Amino acid sequence: MNYLHQFVFGIYPYIALAIFLVGSLIRFDREQYSWKSESSQTLHNGMLRLGSPLFHIGVLGLFFGHLAGLLTPVWVWDTLGVSHGAKQLVAMVAGGVMGSLCLVGLLMLLARRLGNERVRARSTFRDKLVLVWLLATLLLGLTSIFASASHMDGHVMVQLMTWAQHVVTLRGDAAGFIVDAPLVFQLHLFMGMSLFAIFPFTRLVHVWSGFGAVTYLSRAYQLVRSR
């Protein structure tokens, strides 16, 4: 079990990250016409108008919340006078709100994709896989809130932060920090890392374009001249 834990939380993060980055680059280079969200709005608009915004607001909030919460060094929070318990409470509330928005939107999108005959016929296995994978990851994350409520001292939260920071700084002892973390957190981490591994093979690649759209803010105006 120690070898498995070391592999999943000490080696697998780099495998998933390599697949995420290299896979995205290869797909952009070789299959640019597949680099899109493949919208099915023209097939059926039901539940999309509400479900899509809820899902995207929730998932973006969760992504940036995890990014800031896990990668901000502990000493920064200590310097600001924010106790570990207070930070955990904020993470639980914010995660619960954004997670609930994301869950409602995701369930609507999943019901639409599987419930409408035209959309279902147009959907690929990868489309269904990514929605189910997101749902499982999200449910594990929401379940971890209840696990966190049983220990409000912030100890497990600090363990998770230390693990993430040691992973991104390429230190080999990362897995040891979460060896005693509750199973629900470990499963959530594994599902989240695996999401990056399947990312390049699904329509999720359009996320790159979303972030790339920020560059339009610095572009010069397009001049359109009439004849």
Residue 91, pLDDT above cutoff 70? yes
Which H or E run contains 8? none
- Whole-number percent of the chain with pLDDT over 70: 96
pLDDT recorded at residue 218: 81
Q: From CA 14, how far away is CA 168, in angstroms rounded?
A: 9
Q: Which residues are CB-neighbours of 46 under 8 A, at least 6 positions away?
A: 112, 116
As a whole number, mean pLDDT of residues 30-54 equals 77
The answer to whether the annotation marks 44 as part of a ligand binding site is no
Banded pLDDT at 42 (limits 50, 70, 90)? low
Q: What number of CA atoms fall less than 13 Å from residue 159's CA on the CB side?
A: 18
Q: Per residue in 150-163, pLDDT tens?
A: 889 999 999 999 99
Distance between CA atoms of 178 and 123, rounded to whole angstroms? 38
For the stretch 174-194, what's the b/e string if a residue is b when 16 or more beta carbons lie within 10 angstroms of its beta carbon? bbbbbeebbebbbbbbbbbbb
Q: Is 56 annotated as a binding residue?
A: yes
Biggest alpha carbon–alpha carbon distance for the chain: 73
* Top-confidence range, 44-48, 80-84, 115-119: 80-84
Residue type, 11: I
- DSSP-derived letter for residue 178 is G
Query: 5 labelled as ligand-binding?
Result: no
pLDDT score recorded for residue 44 = 62
Distance separating alpha carbons of residues 51 and 193, to the nearest angstrom = 25
Q: What is the pLDDT of residue 1?
A: 55
Does the pLDDT of residue 206 top 80, yes or no?
yes
Q: Which residue would you say has higher pLDDT here, 216 or 76?
A: 76
What pLDDT score does 159 carry? 95
Q: What pLDDT band is residue 31 in, cutting at 50, 70 and 90?
A: confident
pTM (predicted TM-score): 0.87
- CB atoms under 10 Å from CB of 204, counted, come to 18
* Segment 29-44 mean pLDDT: 73
What does the DSSP 8-state code read for residue 223?
P
Token reading at 138:
């999200």
What's the mean pLDDT in 44-68? 90
Is the separation of the CB atoms in 131 and 110 below 8 Å?
A: yes
